[in-house]
């Protein structure tokens, strides 16, 4: 059942996160959320067949083609999570603050291996282009373990190809604000209920 694992981990009477619409469908958007939980990480999500396929990346994506980032494949998230920015209460799963760090469209690379992205993810390798505000160009997600990792989660790598958008030394840590609201995680934590105009891609 879609999103079963996502729902099992959360108490929706206590967290402002969306519960998920089981009838949602769509492909083509991506979002990266900067999430300060127990540890800072970046949640990298690709819209695939009505859910957000998701990886947690401790150091965040980079445009530097010499750098590979460890990415842990985590449970699919509902499409409504796409522009979620706010505070997950302490004690709830993922408790901490979240900003929309990047968003935009994604397109699978023109190769028959990636025509069905859900299948490519299940097989452990996806090449794709991002058209975000920060992230642009060709990326690769590749699974590095053929068995489950030590914590039961699949270990992957995210890397950027040496294309026209490549930028040596580019580091997510130098870009700490939300592309949705311009706020930092600290500002969201201080005023979690503030309303901001959303220029979300459709």
The residue at minimum Cβ distance from Mn ion is 35
**Is the CB of 22 or the CB of 58 nearer to Mn ion?**
58
Closest approach of Cβ 84 to Mn ion, in Å?
10
DSSP label at 133?
S
Candidate residues 43, 47, 83, 154; the one interacting with Mn ion per rule CB under 5 A: 43
Q: Is residue 35 a contact point for Mn ion (CB under 5 A)?
A: yes
User: How many other CB atoms sit within 10 Å of the CB of residue 111?
Assistant: 9
Q: How many residues does the chain have?
A: 202
C-alpha to C-alpha distance for 137 and 128, rounded to whole angstroms: 8
Q: Is 17 in the site for Mn ion (CB under 5 A)?
A: no
List the one residue out of 93, 100, 91, 106 whose CA is nearest residue 137.
106
Contact pattern from residue 89 through residue 128 relative to Mn ion, giving x for each residue in contact according to CB under 5 A and a dash for the rest: ----------------------------------------
Is residue 34 a contact residue for Mn ion (CB under 5 A)? no
Gap between the Cα atoms of 60 and 44, Å rounded? 8
Residue ranges in contact with Mn ion by CB under 5 A: 35, 43
């Amino acid at each position: 059942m879609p999103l079963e694992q996502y729902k099992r981990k959360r108490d929706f009477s206590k967290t402002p996160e969306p519960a998920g619409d089981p009838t949602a469908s769509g492909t083509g958007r991506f979002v990266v959320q900067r999430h300060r939980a127990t540890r800072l990480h970046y949640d990298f999500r690709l819209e695939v067949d009505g859910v957000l396929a998701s990886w947690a990346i401790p150091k965040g994506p980079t445009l530097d083609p010499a750098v590979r980032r460890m990415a842990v494949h985590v449970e699919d998230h509902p499409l409504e999570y796409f522009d979620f920015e706010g505070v997950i209460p302490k004690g709830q799963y993922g408790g901490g603050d979240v900003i929309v760090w990047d968003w935009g469209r994604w397109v699978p690379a023109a190769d028959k291996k990636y025509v069905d992205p859900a299948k490519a993810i299940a097989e452990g390798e996806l090449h794709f282009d991002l058209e975000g505000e920060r992230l642009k160009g060709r990326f690769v997600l590749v699974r590095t373990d053929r068995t489950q990792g030590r914590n039961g989660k699949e270990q992957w790598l995210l890397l950027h190809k040496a294309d026209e958008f490549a930028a040596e030394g580019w580091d997510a840590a130098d870009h700490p604000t939300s592309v949705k609201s311009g706020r930092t995680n600290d500002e969201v934590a201080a005023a979690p209920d503030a309303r901001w105009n959303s220029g979300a891609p459709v």
